[in-house]
Amino acid sequence: MNTLRRSLGKNSAVRQFLSRAVLCAALSLPFVAIGPAAGRSAAKSGGSPDSPAAATEKSHSGHHRGAPKPVSKLHYLRIGKGPAVVFLHGLGGDLSSWVEEAQRLEKTHTVVLVDLPGHGSSPVPPQGIDLVDIGREIALILNTEGLAPATIVGHSLGAVIAGYVALADKTVVRSVVMVDSLVDPYPISREARAKLRGKLNSNAATALREFFGPGTHDPAQLDKIVAAAVRVAPKTLMGYLDFACERDDLAEHIAELKVPVHAMASPVMTGGKSDPAQVQASLTQAGFNGLSDFSFDYIEGSKHWPHWDQPDAFHAMLSKFLARVEGTPGGRSVAKAGSRSKN
């Protein structure tokens, strides 16, 4: 396990880590059903998705190809045992974004790490990017894997998709955790997106450094983020942003969520304000309104990737929330006024 932790610090090692065999062996995990990355791998190596190597890969439900059950085309990893927690990365990332937290939680939970469409090993759907459709597809994974009810944890744009998962099928979601995310549509104008689109097409790496840079903790972290994001097609990146800016209506339906919703906010989201009342005001402005069961944490000393910047604090806060919604001991305390948590 110590060797594995050291390997995660290098981006190339993380990418190798994503294969099923390496993940399961490194963590000493039992075999689990994993999404259809083998078909893509076979195609990349000159083979066919229907070649013998690809045919040995199992579908999401654990049945061999050709099973009548509907399956998602998303690539994902399932590890551990216990109540289910599904992690969704943000724009330009992949499921490796959550590996460190998955290592901690797999001892007590079933952890599912998802590559969103067009990211990692998940294909782009023929109809293009639609966050509502992605939410439905993740709900399908929960149904076919028998993981309901699950907590959905999303970072940034992945948190918006987490909301759509809960709206897609109210029977499969136990709670939603939204990490440094807006509920309202993204406030990026068409003109600004047109400029970004042009920059991505001319020099993707430079454009991505400019786009993600303000939210990163240090140059090494920015390098890691750009190295992942540059692997995503510019058309796909802009498809997510266009939807989030123009077609996202999660704010109009957020009050329909009757499950617990927990926000985890960094100083980036609150403008550096840390007082609980100020944090809550910032979240209200971001669209967290009308929720019947809402709580939040403020993660001091982090930028836009708090699960990387403050991993111990993040894990403690998430564990406390999970204990509350799962009804396990020690999870029902409410922070006193003046603290930086309302959970």
pLDDT digit string (tens) for 263-303? 999 999 999 999 999 999 999 999 999 999 999 999 999 99
Q: Model confidence at 3, in pLDDT bands (50, 70, 90)? A: very low
Q: Model confidence at 71, in pLDDT bands (50, 70, 90)? A: low
Residue range 72-113, pLDDT digits in tens: 789 999 999 999 999 999 999 999 999 999 999 999 999 999
Backbone angles phi, psi at 79, to 5 degrees: -135, 165
**Cα–Cα distance, 32 to 172 (Å, whole number):** 20
Mean confidence (pLDDT) of the chain: 81
How much is the average pLDDT of 108-122?
A: 97
Q: Model confidence at 342, in pLDDT bands (50, 70, 90)? A: low
Asked if residue 220 is part of any domain, the answer here is yes
pLDDT of 216 higher than 90? yes
What pairs with residue 262 in β-bridges? 177, 295
How much is the average pLDDT of 105-123?
A: 96
Number of structural domains in the chain: 1
Structural domain range at position 124: 2-35+72-342
Asked if residue 183 is part of any domain, the answer here is yes
Backbone angles phi, psi at 85, to 5 degrees: -130, 125
Closest CA to 144 of 63, 88, 84: 63
* Per-residue pLDDT, 73: 86
CATH number at residue 213: 3.40.50.1820
pTM of the model: 0.79
**Cα–Cα distance, 164 to 158 (Å, whole number):** 10
Closest CA to 75 of 42, 125, 115: 115
Say if residues 296 and 265 touch (Cβ distance below 8 Å). yes
Asked if residue 52 is part of any domain, the answer here is no
Asked if residue 315 is part of any domain, the answer here is yes
Asked if residue 330 is part of any domain, the answer here is yes
Q: Model confidence at 320, in pLDDT bands (50, 70, 90)? A: very high
Cα–Cα distances in Å, from 341 out to 85, 280, 300?
A: 21, 10, 11
What percent of the chain clears pLDDT 70, i.e. is strictly above it?
75
* Per-residue pLDDT, 88: 98
Say if residues 64 and 200 touch (Cβ distance below 8 Å). no
Q: What residues contact 35, with CB distance under 8 A and at least 6 apart?
A: 60, 72, 73, 74, 75, 76, 77, 115, 121, 122
Q: What is the largest CA-CA distance in the chain?
A: 61
CB atoms within 10 A of CB 233: 13
DSSP structural state of residue 336? P
Asked if residue 65 is part of any domain, the answer here is no
Closest CA to 111 of 78, 152, 138: 78
Asked if residue 56 is part of any domain, the answer here is no
Asked if residue 44 is part of any domain, the answer here is no
Whether the link from the prior residue into 267 is cis, omega within 30° of 0, is no
Angle, in degrees to the nearest 10, between helices 190-202 and 234-242: 170
Q: Tokens standing for 188?
A: 């990026």
- C-alpha angle 286-289-292 in degrees, rounded to nearest 5: 140
* Per-residue pLDDT, 72: 74
